[in-house]
Amino acid sequence: MPTIEVMDSDLTRRAAFRTFAAAGLGVAGAAGLSGRAQAGTGTGTPIVKPTPPELFTLYGSNAEMKWEAMAGQGYLTPIDRFFVRDHTRTPLIDASTWRLTLWGSGLRGSPVEFSYQDLLALPSETRTAFIECTGNGRSFYTSQQGQTVTGTPWKLGGIGVACWRGVRLATVLERAGLTRHAVDLLPRGLDDEYIAGGVNLGRVRRPLPVAKALDDVLLAYEMNGQPLPPDHGFPVRLVVPSWVGIASIKWVGDIQVSDQPLSSPWNTQYYRMFGPGYPPGGGAPLTSQVTKSAFELPWDATLAAGRSHVLRGRSWSGNSRIRQVEVSADGGSSWHRAHRQGPQAPDAWLPWEFRWRPATRGSYELLARATDETGTPQPDQAPYNTLGYLFGAVVRHPVTVT
């Protein structure tokens, strides 16, 4: 299948835009996709919100949540500690001039535009879901498995759970004139073009199959009851529940709707499994996240000997809810059931706790192992891949008992 890519200029050359709400009120300004995102934040940092060291580990334009920052929090990850993954930097976008444009061979007619107000006026839905980076846990390929991988060396903090509110993508597609021949969408962000190894790959964009788009995807404009913050995609982002984080395109400016399969570097050279055991072009484009578990403890936490500690953590899976969680404090020789704390939203995590009374001082490794409804527990080893995606093996969390 040929790659179908249309550059901004091709789109802006198209004459007539159909506006969604303003039918009959004249032709929408064909400002196209450029000029809407102001470059940079003026502060010199790629991320707009504060990223204090108690809450985050910074890697350039990415900020990982420290898991101890979830201790004592409720079910959701507060915005002030939700991880950020920017390919370049957070753009500041003016919602009053922002438009979402849908266009392409999968629509009945010419491009259709929606303003921010148009979206707010459509029926809304809320959904609690995690967004997790595909590379979350990547550093453990090296530290636990001795393997070389490339990419940001996340521990387990490249995940957050929020309550998202917005319009179903299905609703917007229907109003834009989706045909039954449409197969793929290509949502694209308004952040800067991404340059990798001297090659300009264009704006961040990744094909999304129509079936998933119609199932449970949101065009979200609210996060935990607030307007989406700049770092998380203001004014509007996709939320693609249970899938790899790259699917949830932030600062979405346009969505190509095609009756042919689409591709972009984000489903060809990235976000597939590469390496021994995979085809030369990589495995299939990644979709669902794997099962993982994390303790709400600092890395290298210190705990008092001879006392009872309530260890808390959370487990999640892109396949289903979590069926059970077990904890080991002796390197995996013996396992004990953790206790679930409250209900689990379908596309989010299960909080749990485990009481531990270490008798003797020394270094320990705490292990948490979740089983989702497919019945397979987290493995001891994650399948090696050169880009370090989908690390689903049990993580060995070091603690010192004093």
Check residue 138 for interaction with ligand MTE (CB under 6 A): no
* Only segment of 84-92, 105-113, 255-263, 296-304 that touches ligand MTE (CB under 6 A): 84-92
Check residue 46 for interaction with Mo ion (CB under 5 A): no
Check residue 84 for interaction with ligand MTE (CB under 6 A): yes
Can you tell me the distance from the alpha carbon of 122 to that of 199, in angstroms, rounded to the nearest whole number? 39
189 three-class SS: strand
Q: How far is the CB of 18 from ligand MTE (least distance, A)?
A: 25
Site for ligand MTE in 11-50 (CB under 6 A): none
Check residue 51 for interaction with ligand MTE (CB under 6 A): no
Check residue 354 for interaction with ligand MTE (CB under 6 A): no
Burial class of residue 236 (count of CB atoms within 10 Å of its CB; 0-12, 13-18, 19+): buried
Burial class of residue 276 (count of CB atoms within 10 Å of its CB; 0-12, 13-18, 19+): exposed
Q: Alpha helices of 83-229 — where are they, by DSSP H?
A: 116-121, 139-143, 169-176, 210-216
71 three-class SS: coil
Closest CA to 186 of 78, 261, 94, 87: 261
Q: Which of 32, 106, 157, 245 binds Mo ion (CB under 5 A)?
A: 245
Closest CA to 87 of 216, 245, 224: 245
- Look at residue 191 and give the partner it binds from ligand MTE, Mo ion, none, a contact being a CB closer than 5 to 8 Å depending on partner kind: ligand MTE
Contacts of 19 by beta carbon, 8 Å cutoff, 6+ apart: 25, 27, 28, 112, 113, 115
Burial class of residue 234 (count of CB atoms within 10 Å of its CB; 0-12, 13-18, 19+): buried
Site for ligand MTE in 188-227 (CB under 6 A): 189, 191, 204
Q: Which of 18, 49, 81, 85 binds Mo ion (CB under 5 A)?
A: 85
- Look at residue 250 and give the partner it binds from Mo ion, ligand MTE, none, a contact being a CB closer than 5 to 8 Å depending on partner kind: ligand MTE
Does residue 351 have a cis bond before it (omega within 30 degrees)? no
Q: How far is the CB of 115 from ligand MTE (least distance, A)?
A: 19
Check residue 390 for interaction with ligand MTE (CB under 6 A): no
* Only segment of 50-58, 110-118, 197-205, 238-246 that touches Mo ion (CB under 5 A): 238-246
Check residue 249 for interaction with ligand MTE (CB under 6 A): yes
Q: Which of 11, 55, 119, 133 binds Mo ion (CB under 5 A)?
A: 133
Closer Cβ to Mo ion, 32 or 245, answer by number: 245
- Look at residue 232 and give the partner it binds from Mo ion, ligand MTE, none, a contact being a CB closer than 5 to 8 Å depending on partner kind: ligand MTE
* Only segment of 52-60, 77-85, 322-330, 362-370 that touches ligand MTE (CB under 6 A): 77-85
Closest CA to 315 of 238, 389, 373, 248: 373
Residues in the site for ligand MTE, rule: CB under 6 A? 82-87, 131, 133, 189, 191, 204, 232, 245-246, 248-251
